Amino acid sequence: MENQSSSERNSRFIQTLWLTYAFSMNGFNNGILGPALLDLQFLVKVNLDTISNLFIVSGVGFIIGNVTAMVLKKYVDTELFLGLSVLFGSVINIVLLVVPVYAYVVIMTLLQGIFKGVIGFCVLIMCNVIWKDNKSFAFQFVCIGGGISSFIVPFIAKPFLSETHFKHSTDSDVYTECQNTTNPPLSADCYTFENTNVQWAYVIVGLIMIPPAISFLYYYHRSRKQTNVPYEEFDNETKPSKASMINNQSTYFFLVLLFIFHIPIFGFCLAFGGLLTEFGVISDFHYTKSTMAIMTSMYWGSFVFGRIVNLIFSQYINLFVVLTVNLAGLLCATTMLVLATVSRPIIFWIGTVLIGLFSSSLLPTALVWSDKYVPVSGFTITTTLIASGMGDIVLPRIGGAVFDTEGPPSLMIMMLVAALFELAFFIGLALVGNSLVIKSQPSEDEQSKQIVKEEHYTP
C-alpha cells in the first residue's frame, strides 16, 4: 500500500511537470509579441496602432478558447483535448508568419489565442483534480511554466530582430533613417530597412512545444485502457452545497468582485510587457531594441522569480498576507515608473523588475485564496480566465491608444491606475469574503441544539 501511494505521488508529480511544460505555451505566446511587434509591423506593412490590434485578437481568441473548453469538457477527454490543443498551437506558431499579410497574421493570432485559452483551462482543471489536497501548490507551480517561457522567449527572438529603422518616403523609393526624435515615431511609413527574420523565432517556439503535446496524447492513449474517475466528477463534488451558501447574494457578489478583480490581472502584465520595448525605443530613453529585449527578459525573469518565491511562501504564510504584500509592492513599483526620468534611468530598470516580481502570483494565488469562500470549480476557473481574457483585450488596447495620443509616459500612469484598481477590489473581496465566513458560522442557539442532540444520542 505504501509503495502504491509513493508510486501515485510520483505519477502525479510527473504529470504536473508535463502540465507545467504545456502551460509554457501561454507564456511563449504572451512574451514574444512585445519584442517582435516592431518587426511584425515591418513584415505586414501597417502602422503601430494597427499591429497592436494583435493583442485584442489574441485576447478574443483566449475567451473563445475558454468558453469552448468549458462546453466541450463533458464530451471530450481532458488529456486528449489538451494534447491536441498544444499540438495545433505549435503548428500555428510554425506557420504564423509564412504569409506576410496582415489579414493572415490576424487569423493565425486568433487561432493561437483560442488554443491558448483551451490550454489554460485544461491545465487548471487537471490540477484541480490531481491536487485536490494542495491546490495552492499545484496552481502556482504550473503557472511558473508560463513565467519561465515568457522569460526565455525574448532571448529566442533577439537574434532574429532587426535593429535599424528607416523612414520610407512615399515620393520615391529612397529610404531615409528614422530619427528617434521623430514625432510621432514609427508612423505608417516608417519601416525596418533590414530584412527581419523574426518568423524563425515563432518556428523555434512551435518546435519547443511539440513534446508536451505528444506526452498528453500518450496519457490519453494509456488512460483508455484504465478505469479513471473523470475530471468532471471532482468539479461536481466541489460545487457549494445549500448549507455552505447561506447568503446567496453575498456569494454571487463575491463572484462578481472576483471576476472584476481578474480583468486587469494578466492584461496588466501583457500591456506592460508588450509595450515595454516600444516605450524604451520611442520615449526619451531612446534605448535600442536589443537593450529592450534584455529589459523585457529581466521583467519576465523577475516574473518567474516572483512565482517561485510566492510558491514557497504560500506554503507557510496566509494567502491573504501574500496577496496584500504583492499588491502593495505593485503599487510602489508603478509609482516608481511614473517618477522615472532620463536623468534617473535606474528607477526605470528597478521599477520594471519590481512590477514583474509583484504582479506574478496574482492570478493563481487569488484563485486559490477565493476557495476559502467559494469552492474552486470548473465554472470558477472559467469565470476568472474569461475575465483575464477580457483584460488581455482591454488593457493593451487602452495602453496602445494612450501611448499614441498622449505619449509614452501615459503608459506608466495607466499601470499605476490599474494597480490602484486591483488594490481597491481586493479590499472589497476581503470584506465580502469575511462576511460570508461570519454568516456561514452557526449561531449560539444552533450550537446549543447540536450539543443537546449529540448528548441525547450518546450511550
User: DSSP letters along 408-422, please?
Assistant: THHHHHHHHHHHHHH
Residue 70: closest CA among 366, 369, 364, 383: 383
**Do 296 and 443 reside in the same domain of the chain?**
yes
**Do 169 and 154 reside in the same domain of the chain?**
no
What size, in residues, is the chain? 459
Domain closes at, from 195, 213, 246? 195
Task: For residues 401-407, give the mean pLDDT.
Answer: 79
Task: For residues 412-437, give the mean pLDDT.
Answer: 89
Q: pLDDT by residue (tens digit) across 259-290?
A: 999 888 878 887 887 778 788 888 888 888 77
**Do 235 and 349 reside in the same domain of the chain?**
yes
The CATH number that applies at residue 450 is 1.20.1250.20
Task: For residues 429-436, give the mean pLDDT.
Answer: 86
Is the pLDDT confidence value at 4 over 60?
Answer: no
**Do 95 and 191 reside in the same domain of the chain?**
no
**Do 366 and 262 reside in the same domain of the chain?**
yes
Domain that holds residue 22: 2-161+196-456
- Cell, residue 362: 496574482
Is the pLDDT confidence value at 52 over 50?
Answer: yes
Task: For residues 165-183, give the mean pLDDT.
Answer: 41
Residue 207: HSE in the Cβ half-sphere, 13 Å Cα cutoff: 7
Looking at residue 230, its pLDDT comes to 47
Q: Which amino acid is residue 323, in one-letter code?
A: L
- pLDDT band at 103; cut points 50, 70, 90: very high
CA dihedral 135, 137, 141, 142 (to 10 degrees): -10
Centre a 10 Å sphere on the Cβ of residue 328 and count the other Cβ atoms it contains: 13
**Do 395 and 246 reside in the same domain of the chain?**
yes
- pLDDT band at 177; cut points 50, 70, 90: very low
Cα 272 from Cα 336, distance rounded (Å)? 14
Looking at residue 195, its pLDDT comes to 67
Looking at residue 438, its pLDDT comes to 59
- pLDDT band at 164; cut points 50, 70, 90: low
**Do 16 and 85 reside in the same domain of the chain?**
yes
- pLDDT band at 214; cut points 50, 70, 90: very high
**Do 113 and 188 reside in the same domain of the chain?**
no
Total tally of structural domains belonging to the chain = 2
**Do 182 and 67 reside in the same domain of the chain?**
no
Is the pLDDT confidence value at 178 over 60?
Answer: no
**Do 202 and 260 reside in the same domain of the chain?**
yes
Which of the pair, 137 or 91, is modelled with greater confidence? 91
Looking at residue 179, its pLDDT comes to 43
Looking at residue 183, its pLDDT comes to 41
CB 43 within 8 A of CB 196: yes
Q: What percent of the chain has pLDDT over 70?
A: 81
**Do 61 and 19 reside in the same domain of the chain?**
yes
Domain closes at, from 152, 176, 195? 195
**Do 333 and 280 reside in the same domain of the chain?**
yes
Is the pLDDT confidence value at 402 over 90?
Answer: no
Q: What is the mean pLDDT of the chain?
A: 79
